[in-house]
Amino acid sequence: MKTTGGKIKIAIVDDESLMLSLIGDYLQKTGKLDVIMTADDGEVIINKIENADILPDVILLDLKMKRMDGVETTAALRSRYPGIGIIIISSYYKSSFMGYMMKSGVNAFLPKGITPEKLTEAIHSVYEKGYYFMTEQVDIMRQQISSKAPKPVFSKTESLTDRELEVMKLICQQKTAQKIAEELFISIKTVEGHKSNLFLKTGVKNIAGLVIYAVKNELIDLDECDAFY
């Protein structure tokens, strides 16, 4: 993802006009984020994106809306614009929904009561690393992942290479593509190529899903990661 003018481009989708105004005003005033479009419905934001010259880097998306809800909107965006980060913010938030949200393709799932500072932190994390987990969400994942989960058995054509495993572990340690390239002495383009292969071989849709896959299949210990939040 690349920004214009050094700012992360944001789109906000919420059917409450007050929320649109308050969140938009706050993010714009940070000086590091640029709210380039807003909408009150999933269909509206998809139409705006399809006709836009500049795409948002991250979308803040409400879960429950009158017409096209957050899950449906996420599915539509993932199929057409896989590079856009999606953060669902909802008053119907439950940490136990985390697994479903990650499977649906979102990069972060947050309650509407989150502090403005934490929201800004989440946006930067999704933009730079591809995911954002709160402490309680990490705890939920610990509980949901079986201690007896078997190690993966790959076919010869679908096995992960040693280099791909290295890249996966560094991604789980929140290293950016630039940092991974420097550490492994390869180009950023090569890192992105390995990342694409990881998505194809594991069947996940984003970095957050890749992290969960790695932990669930015991490719990396959750305790070895620097932090998820």
Which distant-in-sequence residues (6+ apart) come within 8 Å of 127 by Cβ? 1, 8, 57, 58, 85
- 160 band by pLDDT with thresholds 50, 70 and 90: confident
Same domain, 91 and 119: yes
Can you give the pLDDT at residue 219? 81
Same domain, 127 and 191: no
For the chain, list the strands marked E by DSSP. Answer: 8-13, 33-39, 58-62, 85-90, 108-111
Same domain, 97 and 15: yes
| Most confident among 16-20, 51-55, 141-145 (mean pLDDT) | 51-55
Same domain, 169 and 83: no
Q: Is residue 140 part of a domain?
A: no
Task: Enter the pTM of the model.
Answer: 0.65
Kindly give the interhelix angle for 188-202 and 177-184, rounded to the nearest 10 degrees.
110
Same domain, 178 and 107: no
Same domain, 86 and 199: no
- 147 band by pLDDT with thresholds 50, 70 and 90: low
Same domain, 39 and 60: yes
The Cα angle at residue 79 between residues 142 and 174, in degrees rounded to 5: 40
Last residue of a domain, one of 87, 104, 135: 135
Q: Is residue 1 part of a domain?
A: no
The mean predicted confidence, pLDDT, of the chain is 82
Q: pLDDT at residue 132 above 60?
A: yes
Q: Is residue 128 part of a domain?
A: yes
Same domain, 111 and 205: no
Number of domains in the chain: 2
Mean per-residue pLDDT for 220-226?
62
Q: Is residue 3 part of a domain?
A: no
Mean per-residue pLDDT for 151-167?
67
Specify which residues 109 forms β-bridges with.
88
Same domain, 110 and 64: yes
**CA dihedral over 210, 215, 217, 219, signed as positive or negative:** positive
**Can you tell me the distance from the alpha carbon of 12 to that of 116, in angstroms, rounded to the nearest whole number?**
14
Render pLDDT for 77-120 as a digit per residue (tens, 0 to 9). Answer: 988 898 899 999 988 787 777 777 877 888 999 988 889 899 99
Same domain, 197 and 157: yes
Give the domain range for residue 20: 8-135
Render pLDDT for 14-27 as a digit per residue (tens, 0 to 9). Answer: 888 888 888 889 99
Same domain, 20 and 124: yes
